[in-house]
Structure 1
Amino acid sequence: MRSKLDENRPIFQQIKEMIEEDIVEGILPEGDKAPSTNQLVAYYKINPQTVLKGVNELVENGILFKKRGVGMFVAEGARETLRTLRKRTFQEEYVWSMLQEAKRLGISEQEIRSMMDDLKGRNDHD
């Protein structure tokens, strides 16, 4: 869990994103129990309804499921579902805008690949 929440963004959204991130990174494997509402409320000192709003969105999207009287658990296939959604978002938000800007600047596909290779090489040395 993050140590602090961003006051400029909806808290329920941040709670949802933190749980999603833990699932994508494998910190919270499928079948495992998710952090309870009470744990999140106590840790962040926030309203239980705020936490429930974020968690309920994950339930509605099939990422978490409730076991009555036991808690919330990560659903089977949740990691792949989240990865697929994030890949689509990445393509739409980053790749599309990059290609549009490259077109405006007259950058060829080969130049883009070369730039990516350069950056990848730099990243390998870090």
Structure 2
Amino acid sequence: MFDDRSPIYQQIAEKIKEDILAGVLQEDEKVMSTNQYSSFYRINPATAAKGFQQLLEEGILYKKRGIGMFVSQNARETLRQQRRERFFEEVVDAMVAEARMIGIPLADVIRRIQDADGGRS
């Protein structure tokens, strides 16, 4: 599951975010404990805890004392909004800049996107 591209704790946080976005984890659903997570993935419990702490700080998870951690209300929508913003910044803005640099009219880019969409929008 884990690779060398980023720290394991960040990959843990991203995996949980992906599960929330995909609907695998629902709002107010309990998530695995850090000990369960570390045992299941055979990682250091402190590493798992750091990933969970990141999600707590971002407001994606919340803690019920003595019970565990749960998916926050509106976590999915929050994550979707963050991904939309990142998509436009990293993909669309970069595409527009590249098109301008190589002389492709934006109308051609738009037409190509519409063709790729097959009229579904």
What is the letter of the counterpart of residue 66 of structure 2? Answer: G
2:6 aligns with 9
State which of 56, 78, 94 in structure 1 corresponds to 2:53.
56
What is the identity, as a one-letter code, of the residue corresponding to 2:108? E
Aligned length: 119
1:110 Cα offset (Å) = 1.7
Alignment pair present for 1:24 and 2:21 = yes
Number of the residue aligned with 2:106: 109
Q: Give the structure-1-normalised TM-score.
A: 0.88
- Gaps in structure 2 of 5+ consecutive residues: none
Name the CA distance, whole Å, in 2 between partners of 1:110 and 1:39. 52
Aligned match of 1:39: 36
Per-residue CA deviations over 1:59-95 (Å, capped at 9, x if unaligned) read 0111100011111000101111111111111111111
Letter in 2 for 1:114: R
Paired amino acid for 1:108: P
Query: Over aligned residues, Cα RMSD in angstroms?
Result: 1.4
Q: C-alpha distance in 2, partners of 1:46/1:7?
A: 14
Is 2:67 the partner of 1:70?
yes
1:85 match = 82
For residues 73 and 46 of structure 2, the distance between their equivalents in structure 1, rounded to whole angstroms, comes to 26
Comparing 83-92 with 111-120, greater Cα deviation is found at 111-120
Provide runs of 4+ in structure 1 moved above 2 Å: 117-121
Q: 1:97 aligns with which of 81, 84, 94?
A: 94
